[in-house]
Amino acid sequence: MSAEACAAIVQRADPERFAALMAAPVADRPVLAVLYAFNAELARAPWASKEPMIAEMRLQWWRDTVEAEASEPGPAHEVASPLGKLIRTKALPLDLLDGLAQARVWDIYREAHADEAAFWAYLRATGGALMALAVQATGGGNREGALALGTAQALANYLRAVPALEDQGRIPLVDGRPEAVAALAFKGLEYLDIAKKAKLPRGAGLAAYLTRPVLALAARQPQLVAAGALEVPEFTRRKNLLWQSLTGRF
């Protein structure tokens, strides 16, 4: 069980995060690969079966495994084993790890988020928690700054996924009117400004290299969300990743 195997999972499941992983400092890559692979497995679980009970069982297995691995190594597994070692050596907070899995239950069903507060709670528990875990694993200590950055990143990714979620029969947004979408994007940019004040490890923060351009575009042209056209040109992608890898600014 190795970080290389985890990196291969990330490469297949999450190419944008894999690009950030490869641009991160070499010393940070093993721990980030493990966390990103764990996230990929959780994100995949709700969609791996059409039976909600089976999907819930998959997520519950991860919750149980995280709890067990926090105490001692369990049976060999390509992601759970290195994750367990990371939990034990970096004292990763179990509340964030468990919440990351628990939040994914929403992905199994077709109901909308209860309200805007529930929507933001979902983003914080998924992308926010992952960023906070990555920050702690790479030596950072500003949990709230990390949660703010990860929540903004999760919003950017979520807005880009709105058409695909609708195609699956989901109701992704509490209010899909352009003005409401723009308001979400502006709030996401406010989270970015909060995160800018935190001194976060460069390697962990790299995963958010597309967040600002995506949210800025959604704020200016919110109609692009429904049209599935909230995309950043390849040149901008490469430029942002390079700039952030060199400066740590996002």
pLDDT tens, position by position, 212-231: 999 999 999 999 999 999 99
User: Tens of pLDDT along 36-52?
Assistant: 999 999 999 999 888 99
For 114, phi then psi, to 5°, come to: -60, -40
CATH number, domain at 11?
1.10.600.10
pTM: 0.97
**What is the distance between the alpha carbons of residues 110 and 46, in angstroms, rounded to a whole number?**
11
- Distance CA(62)–CA(80), nearest Å, equals 8
Q: Shortest CA distance to 72 belongs to which of 87, 56, 92, 50?
A: 87
Interatomic CA distance for residues 159 and 156, integer angstroms: 5
Total structural domains within the chain: 1
pLDDT, tens digit, for every residue of 155-178?
A: 999 999 999 999 999 999 999 999
Q: What is the pLDDT of residue 65?
A: 97
Tokens linked to 20: 């950030």
Q: How many helices (H) and strands (E) does the chain have?
A: 14, 0
- Which range of residues forms the domain containing residue 102? 3-247
Number of Cβ atoms within 10 Å of the Cβ of 55: 21
The single-letter code of the amino acid at 105 is V
